[in-house]
Amino acid sequence: MEYEPEVTRWLRTGVHISSVEKRVYSAGCFVFVWGALEKNIGRTNNTNINNISFLYHSNLTDLKEFYDVVRERYTGDDGLVNWSFRNLKLPKKAKIDDNEFNVEGYVKGVFENGDVSVEKMVKSLLFITYKLRNNAFHGTKWINSFDDGQMLNISAINNFIIYIISNRVIISYN
């Protein structure tokens, strides 16, 4: 028995989700790509994201492209964070090395500053990736409102994770 056509048919007719195949594909890829990330760099949380060491590459054009896609989603034309960013609800107080760390403030500062280091881009994307992971596995699911912008965001995050694993951008946790 083939289950996939049954699932997509039910999502389309029972839950009334349009473009269900694209949505299921994007979300499914994220689950597996996240698993690959944890397999390659270990279990990820706010603490070890803040304490990673990087191996820099001369060609980081792809990394900047992923960053720009995600940054564009979360900032307005004025370069300031927008409603979508605030709706991410990144933690204002995360416990990192027995100190409180404002993840939201960190990412906001990186996004609103036009010229940032590769390390800050990677950390910001990882903090957002971790938040998306938490929302996907633990949060309230709003699959009916999973719009094209969110699919573009998840696609960029999937490609970002693949890039950092394939190019060994992260080499260790401190």
Strand spans (E) along 13-169: 52-54, 94-96, 99-101
Query: Contacts from 56-59 at CB under 8 Å and sequence distance 24+?
Result: 56/118, 56/169, 57/167, 57/169
Specify the pTM.
0.77
Are 12 and 24 in contact by the 8 Å Cβ rule? The answer is no
Q: Is the pLDDT of residue 129 over 90?
A: no
Q: Is the pLDDT of residue 49 over 70?
A: no
Residue 65 burial (10 A CB sphere; 0-12, 13-18, 19+): middle
pLDDT in tens, 83-122: 999 988 898 877 666 677 888 999 999 999 977 888 888 8
Sequence-ordered list of residues with C-beta below 8 angstroms from that of 53, at least 6 positions apart, any chain: 170, 171, 172, 173, 174
Which residues partner with 95 through β-bridges?
Answer: 100
d(CA 152, CA 149): 5
* Average pLDDT value for residue range 45-62: 58
pLDDT in tens, 134-147: 777 776 655 555 66
pLDDT of residue 174: 47
* Average pLDDT value for residue range 38-47: 66
Q: Could you tell me how far CA 51 lies from the centroid of its own chain?
A: 18
Are 153 and 73 in contact by the 8 Å Cβ rule? The answer is yes
pLDDT of residue 58: 47
pLDDT of residue 85: 94
Domain boundaries, the chain: 4-173
